[in-house]
Amino acid sequence: MSDLSAFMRFAKSYQSGEMIFSEYEPGDSFYLIQSGRVKITKIVGAIEKNIDILQPPEIFGEMAILEGAPRSATAIAMDPVKVLEFNRANFEILMMGNPQIALRLLKLFTKRIYDQKRRFMILKLEDPQAKVADVFLMLDETQGDPGAGQSVGDTRDFKVTVEDVAHWAGISIQDAQTVLGHFSNQRRVEMYQDRIVVKNIMDFQRFVNSRRKKT
């Protein structure tokens, strides 16, 4: 990693277990990890889910580029952690002398833009069944990510709960339950406590395509 000693005025440290920011907190800064690990979590229903564990030189909190948007997850130091904290106003200074960091942020932005566009496509569908099916298609597209799930033939095993699906589909948990119950009766999905299995992802693809064309 390049020499960041010139940026010590942006440095902050946290003790192990200390919160860096909380879900729903308004935030205008993002962080570059210099040492230690940071755990990203989110409270879904009545449990706190671990979303990710980040290490140097990863960046987090980058959605602070959106003015006034509350944090979508919580960041907690797992070890004694050192970070550089920057914001919309000063990130250019830091990026200018550190192309590697700038490149990393650029890649994060491309990923976030795609995530948001994909989210938009799901929300734009009118039929709740199509929304739920499209959530699985979206998750399948990111199967390359570690921990996303396993695939055998056209069957896909997703480590998600009804709450997650409801969140992504932008519908109530109750509605998500109804749709998934319906799919389950049709034997298109199998529901488990901590995961949902889609029996034939291609079937969902055809279903979503047919609903998307109508609009």
Question: Cα dihedral angle (151, 152, 156, 159), rounded to 10 degrees?
Answer: -50
Q: Quick one: which segment of 115-123, 154-162, 183-191, 195-203 binds other proteins (CB under 8 A)?
A: 115-123
Residue number, 114 or 192, with CB nearest to other proteins: 114
- What does 15-79 look like in DSSP terms, one character per residue? -TT-EEE-TT-B--EEEEEEES-EEEEEEETTEEEEEEEE-TT-EE-GGGGSTTPBPSSEEEESS
103, 126, 154, 186: residue in contact with other proteins (rule CB under 8 A) = 103
- What does 163-210 look like in DSSP terms, one character per residue? HHHHHHHTS-HHHHHHHHHHHHHTTSEEE-SS-EEES-HHHHHHHHHH
Residue number, 27 or 36, with CB nearest to other proteins: 27
For other proteins, the binding residues in 133-162 under the rule CB under 8 A are 141, 144
Backbone CA torsion sign across 109, 114, 116, 117:
positive
Residue number, 11 or 93, with CB nearest to other proteins: 93
Per-residue contact string for residues 41-80; x = within reach of other proteins by CB under 8 A: --x--x-x--------------x-xxx-xx---x-x----
When asked if residue 1 is in the footprint of other proteins (CB under 8 A), the reply is no
When asked if residue 89 is in the footprint of other proteins (CB under 8 A), the reply is no
4, 51, 78, 123: residue in contact with other proteins (rule CB under 8 A) = 123
Planar angle of CA 71, 76, 82, nearest 5 degrees: 105
Binding region for other proteins (CB under 8 A): 17-19, 22-26, 43, 46, 48, 63, 65-67, 69-70, 74, 76, 92, 95-100, 102-103, 105-107, 109-114, 116-117, 119-121, 123-124, 141, 144, 170, 172-173, 215
